[in-house]
Amino acid sequence: MTRFAYVNGCFQPHADAMIHIEDRGFQFADAIYEVWSVRDGELMDADGHFARLERSLRELRISNPKTEAGYRLVIAELLRRNRVRDGLVYLQISRGRARRDHAFPAATTRPTVVMTAKRLDHAAAQRRADAGVAVISLPDLRWGRRDIKTVNLLPNVLAKQAAAEAGAAEAWLVDASGQVTEGASTNAWIVTADGVLVTRQADHDILHGITRARIMRRAQAMGYTVEERSFSIEEAQTAREAFMTSATSFVTPIVRIDDRPVGNGAPGSVAVELRSAYLELI
Ligand code: PDD
């Protein structure tokens, strides 16, 4: 089956889809992106992801080339052409193609819009969640505006590769004061001995995860107390539970951090309950 991508107004065979060598996304990582999970043909948490998309563009002063309705139409067509019912949609918008100069190009420069869709094996993700995953800790080497979802992901790429080489699913990034910021592509959570859920405050140091916000509201509605504060690797290792959230991993229990098991080394009941609650909500 031919896969299709969307590039600047056209659907093209995925294998031939190209952008220009002087695209600012390619040259400067001057671009933002969004990722939606798709289940049964529906976008999960669509509104939250559209709101963050607009915010990322605004923060970088890239003009939004489409309306939300316009994006939704393209996404629906992309899912149809790629026959994706369970998977993800990726959208990237760069400041466009211009002669290489660091400062912004002329205001008439058209942003580049790229969208792809791919199938994901939710059953395999469920098996990973059932077993629980390991994470390693690494220094957070990223820039100071991690709340903007830019394609400036080299530190995340290196951290994820280090995790893979260590046999772990994720790397938890640690700031200069020894506190966990988030994972390379997920938000980080712990459950204290008293059953309180803790996740770092959503400031400039972390991506404001749409799944994080959704889980926070859901957990509070279920009667849990949620504290937004930072925590160290030591606190996480001795916590009752740890887990991570993202659009593609939903809620995934963590059973090992570096060389120490979390809790009894099996997925925690709160994480398992929140994962089911999230999947039911959607
Ligand atoms: N990653 N933190 C980082 C650094 C991320 O890249 C992501 C998402 C998250 C979770 O955000 P959300 O719940 O909105 O997906 C947290 C996506 C899935 C990715 O890069 O593919």
pLDDT of residue 281: 81
DSSP β-ladder status, 133-139 and 250-257: parallel
Domain 4-120 has CATH 3.30.470.10: yes
CB–CB of 194/175 below 8 Å?
A: no
* pLDDT mean over 157-162: 98
Mutate to test the pocket of ligand 1, among 186, 211, 245 (most ligand atoms within 8 A of CB): 186
Distances (CA, A) of 21 to 53, 100, 116: 24, 10, 19
Q: What ranges do the domains of the chain cover?
A: 4-120, 125-281
Distance 7 CA to ligand 1 centre (A): 23
Q: State the pLDDT confidence band at 231, using cuts at 50, 70 and 90.
A: very high
Of 66, 118, 149, 160, the active-site residue reads 149
pLDDT of residue 122: 85
Which residues in 151-229 belong to E strands, given as ranges?
170-174, 180-183, 187-191, 197-199, 226-228
**82-120 pLDDT per residue, tens:** 999 999 999 999 999 999 999 999 999 999 999 999 999
CB burial of 228-240 (b: ≥16 within 10 Å; e: otherwise) equals: eebbebeebbebb
The answer, yes or no, to whether any atom of ligand 1 lies below 6 A from the CB of 207, is yes
Distance 209 CA to ligand 1 centre (A): 6
* pLDDT mean over 223-227: 98
Q: Which DSSP string corresponds to 34-59?
A: EEEEEETTEETTHHHHHHHHHHHHHH
Point out which residues pair with 92 in neighbouring strands. Answer: 33, 114
Question: In whole numbers, what is the pLDDT of the chain averaged over residues?
Answer: 97
Candidate from 205-214, 223-232, 261-270, 273-282 with smallest mean pLDDT = 273-282
The answer, yes or no, to whether any atom of ligand 1 lies below 6 A from the CB of 32, is no
Name which residue sits closest to atom 16 of ligand 1, judged by CA.
186
Name which residue sits closest to atom 6 of ligand 1, judged by CA.
185
Residue 48 alpha carbon, nearest atom of ligand 1: 14
User: Active-site residue 160, yes or no?
Assistant: no
Q: Looking at the structure, give the CATH architecture of the domain made up of residues 125-281.
A: Alpha-Beta Barrel (3.20)
DSSP β-ladder status, 197-199 and 250-257: unpaired
Task: Record the pTM.
Answer: 0.97
Three-state DSSP at 1 gives coil
The answer, yes or no, to whether any atom of ligand 1 lies below 6 A from the CB of 209, is yes
**238-257 pLDDT per residue, tens:** 999 999 999 999 999 999 99
Whether 166 has a pLDDT exceeding 90, the answer reads: yes
pLDDT of residue 1: 82
The answer, yes or no, to whether any atom of ligand 1 lies below 6 A from the CB of 34, is no
**16-69 pLDDT per residue, tens:** 999 999 999 999 999 999 999 999 999 999 999 999 999 999 999 999 999 999
